[in-house]
Amino acid sequence: NISSFFCSGSRSSKTFKPKKNIPEGSHQYELLKHAEATLGSGNLRMAVMLPEGEDLNEWVAVNTVDFFNQINMLYGTITDFCTEESCPVMSAGPKYEYHWADGTNIKKPIKCSAPKYIDYLMTWVQDQLDDETLFPSKIGVPFPKNFMSVAKTILKRLFRVYAHIYHQHFDPVIQLQEEAHLNTSFKHFIFFVQEFNLIDRRELAPLQELIEKLTSKDR
């Protein structure tokens, strides 16, 4: 169970950014609990499916928040290894380099170190999640028309953090005995984005082999 993993051992609960909480007692909280319960069954393909009668936007919203929190934790455990010196550029292996732009504050993509890029990225995601007009937490408040495109951008960017960790920091992940946790989290993420077609295949290229390996067992 992913949630119990976070509570065990103080090291693994070091969060890189503040955690985004879904308000208890809300419908989204119920959905999150449903997601955790089905995850516990171990069948990830089943766990990502839209629960019967639920709103797709709300399901994507709840899971996006959850993935943000998971990646936040995972990156938090390896921040000591991801430095300006070790990672002067944000990359996922030799063929893939990412430059940051958010379209508002930074319009022209800038080349920056991985820790700086991930800081920009996670701060940007957090701002989107905290925006009530984009991610309404109150019952009955409709999602905006552009919600799906925003969610897709968030998930596309969160994928890059997984890709960076796998390509540049897998040794410390193994040393910290976080490998199973990273794989479970990433596999859940991939099944989710595949189920609802949320990330373009080209974007997934840096981890294509791993994706095939992790998902081939569950066809």
Phi, psi of 20 (to 5 degrees): -95, 115
The token pair at 182 is 């990273």
Q: Is 82 annotated as a binding residue?
A: yes
Tokens at 57, concatenated: 């936007």
- DSSP secondary structure letter of residue 127: H
Cα gap 166→184, rounded to integer Å = 13
Tokens of 183: 């794989």
According to the annotation, is 188 in a ligand binding site? no
Q: How far apart are CA 20 and CA 23, in angstroms?
A: 9
Using an 8 Å Cβ cutoff, are 207 and 92 in contact? yes
Pick out the residues of the known binding site for Zn(2+): 82, 87, 164, 169
Pick out the residues of the known binding site: 82, 87, 164, 169
